[in-house]
């Protein structure tokens, strides 16, 4: 047994330090099954002090460190490299809710706390934490902060970055920075927390966070609508926001192909409408008032859209079970795709007004270059974020298609860049996009990022091979 393993076991306890491959295996492969690495050990510290001690032990020996939460990431950012040199530091035991402060609309939680637990704690205090993801039962706070996760309610509440008031971080030398402030105003220099939000664990390990809470919504309306086109969806969104403002909390675009995969692979799902349509939107309006007239407002706007032939059909949920069933269709698209097989995935953003142009031009270019390609397009139209995934319907043809990921990706990413968009909206860079990032980010931006990385992590031991 190596001296490193001995030291790690002294810190976290023998049962919380895994070093046998069979035991480590679940923590060495990403959720999609695309990346599998190797590690000297997987450790599960119980608190910030143990995280700090683990980091110091690794740094003293020149051992790379890979922070990991619920392991639900989609770009391989929490998976160690294949060289087997790293120690994976899994934060899942750090799951205390340290403080709930309803008067200040704030909650302080540890990094291993599942997102759904944070949501529940907020509701117990008659407050609301709005970050909502399909993986919220298993993804953890540290991971969503490290990837600056988005989710379905960015339209009203913003990305994770907008929801973080303060952080506690173990730095790459093992020091602990306690920035767990709950202030809305603190103009005392650089706002350091923003260095670590979206950094994917390359600058330090987030061990706790103070997050914003909001008034609890007391009325809502949810509808599934068949729209004539993505352009009609954008026009409907604009009209709804003009009438309802930020009460429009979610506006999701779903293609027919996406829906069909869910209906095929997810038991218990059904098509909400009698006829098939090429495009749908899932709309949600909420308000803190108990009787806000949301259903009437939405129905009036939809009636106008139907008269204009922008909406072809739709259903408004009349019970909580119907709301859950509609959201299940949207939230299970990624799971359905996983069951279907590998695809070339893109998590892109463009200005909302450019979404119809992107879908039209990208579709034309891809079908011209790859006849028969299957395009699974869905996502958060309300904030310009699309998940644009490509595959071949026949499994025997798909393997060769996946082999051309780089060329296919250039078609998509070049168009995104031409439309002033981003090649990563909410999933991060990780291993998946690390090598292509220099083609789509300016030289000065990359140099600034490298300078920050070198300043905080001069030995380059914190999650190497990710982002930069």
DSSP 40-54: SEEE--SSHHHHHHH
Question: Which one, of 26, 86, 30, lies nearest residue 55 by Cα?
Answer: 86
Mean pLDDT of the chain: 95
Cα–Cα distance for residue pair 74/78, rounded to 1 Å: 9
Query: Is 381 a residue whose pLDDT tops 60?
Result: yes
Q: How far is CA 198 from CA 148, 203, 281, in A?
A: 5, 10, 28
How confident is the model over 408-463, as pLDDT tens digits? 999 999 999 999 999 999 999 999 999 999 999 999 999 999 999 999 999 999 99
Cα–Cα distance for residue pair 146/73, rounded to 1 Å: 10
* CB of 170 closer than 8 Å to CB of 204: yes
* CB of 203 closer than 8 Å to CB of 196: yes
Question: Which one, of 130, 120, 17, lies nearest residue 383 by Cα?
Answer: 130
Q: Let me know how long the chain is.
A: 468
Check residue 74 and give its pLDDT. Answer: 87
E-assigned strand segments in 299-341: 311-316
Check residue 282 and give its pLDDT. Answer: 98
Report the chain's C-alpha Rg in angstroms.
Answer: 23
Confidence of residue 134 (pLDDT cuts 50, 70, 90): confident
Give the pair of three-digit tokens for residue 291: 């009787």
Cα–Cα distance for residue pair 100/411, rounded to 1 Å: 47
> Any idea which residue has 């359905």 for tokens?
336
Cα–Cα distance for residue pair 111/123, rounded to 1 Å: 19
Confidence of residue 1 (pLDDT cuts 50, 70, 90): low
Query: Is 51 a residue whose pLDDT tops 70?
Result: yes
* CB of 48 closer than 8 Å to CB of 170: yes
Between 460 and 151, the higher pLDDT residue: 460
Check residue 353 and give its pLDDT. Answer: 97
* CB of 279 closer than 8 Å to CB of 237: no
* CB of 380 closer than 8 Å to CB of 159: no
* CB of 211 closer than 8 Å to CB of 164: yes
Check residue 213 and give its pLDDT. Answer: 98
Give the pair of three-digit tokens for residue 99: 């403080």
Q: Which residues contact 307 (CB under 8 A, 6 or more apart)?
A: none
Half-sphere exposure of 108 (CA within 13 A, CB side): 15
Give the pair of three-digit tokens for residue 321: 């079970």
Of the chain, the end-to-end C-alpha distance in Å amounts to: 33
Domains and CATH numbers, the chain: 3-90 (3.30.43.10), 97-215 (3.30.465.10), 219-334 (3.30.70.2190), 341-433 (3.30.70.2740)
On whether the pTM is more than 0.85, the answer is yes
Question: Which one, of 258, 182, 264, lies nearest residue 224 by Cα?
Answer: 258
Check residue 394 and give its pLDDT. Answer: 85
Check residue 32 and give its pLDDT. Answer: 84
Confidence of residue 390 (pLDDT cuts 50, 70, 90): very high
Question: Which one, of 139, 156, 52, lies nearest residue 334 by Cα?
Answer: 139
Cα–Cα distance for residue pair 171/86, rounded to 1 Å: 17
How confident is the model over 258-304, as pLDDT tens digits? 999 999 999 999 999 999 999 999 999 999 999 889 999 999 999 99
| DSSP single-letter state for residue 288 | S
Confidence of residue 407 (pLDDT cuts 50, 70, 90): very high
Lowest mean pLDDT among 53-62, 227-236, 299-308: 299-308
């Amino acid at each position: 047994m190596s001296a490193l393993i001995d030291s790690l076991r002294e810190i976290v306890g023998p049962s919380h330090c895994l070093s046998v491959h069979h035991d480590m295996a679940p923590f060495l492969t990403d959720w999609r099954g695309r990346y599998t690495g190797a590690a000297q050990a997987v450790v599960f510290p119980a608190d910030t002090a143990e995280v700090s001690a683990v980091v110091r032990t690794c740094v003293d020996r020149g051992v790379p460190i890979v922070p990991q939460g619920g392991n639900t990431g989609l770009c391989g950012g929490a998976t160690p490299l294949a060289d087997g040199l790293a120690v994976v530091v899994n934060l899942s035991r750090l799951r205390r809710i340290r403080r709930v402060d309803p008067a200040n609309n704030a909650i302080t939680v540890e990094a291993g706390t599942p997102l759904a637990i944070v949501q529940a704690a907020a509701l117990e205090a008659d407050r609301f934490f709005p970050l909502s993801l399909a993986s919220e039962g298993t993804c953890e706070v540290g991971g969503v902060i490290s990837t600056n996760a988005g989710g379905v309610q960015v339209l009203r509440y913003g990305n994770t970055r907008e929801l973080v008031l303060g952080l506690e971080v173990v730095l790459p030398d093992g020091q602990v920075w306690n920035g767990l402030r709950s202030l809305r105003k603190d103009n005392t220099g650089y706002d350091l927390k923003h260095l670590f939000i979206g950094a994917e664990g390359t600058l330090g390990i987030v061990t706790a966070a103070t997050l914003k809470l909001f008034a609890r919504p007391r009325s809502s309306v949810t509808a599934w609508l068949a729209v004539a086109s993505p352009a009609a969806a954008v026009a409907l969104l604009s009209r709804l926001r003009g009438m309802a403002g930020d009460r429009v909390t979610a506006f999701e675009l779903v293609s027919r192909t996406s829906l069909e995969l869910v209906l095929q692979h997810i038991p218990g799902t059904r098509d909400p409408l009698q006829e098939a349509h090429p495009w749908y939107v899932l709309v949600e309006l909420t308000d803190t008032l108990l009787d806000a007239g949301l259903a009437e407002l939405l129905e009036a706007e939809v009636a106008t859209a139907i008269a204009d032939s922008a909406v072809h059909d739709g259903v408004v949920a009349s019970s909580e079970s119907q709301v859950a069933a509609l959201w299940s269709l949207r939230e299970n698209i990624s799971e359905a795709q996983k069951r279907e097989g590998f695809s070339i995935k893109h998590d892109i953003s463009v200005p909302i007004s450019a979404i119809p142009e992107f879908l039209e031009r990208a579709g034309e270019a891809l079908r011209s270059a790859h006849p028969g390609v299957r395009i699974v397009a869905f996502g958060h139209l309300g904030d310009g974020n699309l998940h644009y995934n490509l595959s071949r319907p026949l499994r025997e043809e798909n393997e060769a298609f996946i082999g051309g990921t780089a060329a296919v990706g250039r078609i998509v990413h070049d168009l995104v860049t031409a439309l002033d968009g981003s090649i990563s909206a909410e999933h991060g860079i990780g291993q998946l996009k690390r090598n292509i990032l220099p083609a789509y980010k300016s030289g000065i931006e990359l140099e600034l990022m490298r300078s920050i990385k070198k300043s905080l992590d001069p030995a380059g031991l914190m999650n190497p091979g990710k982002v930069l």
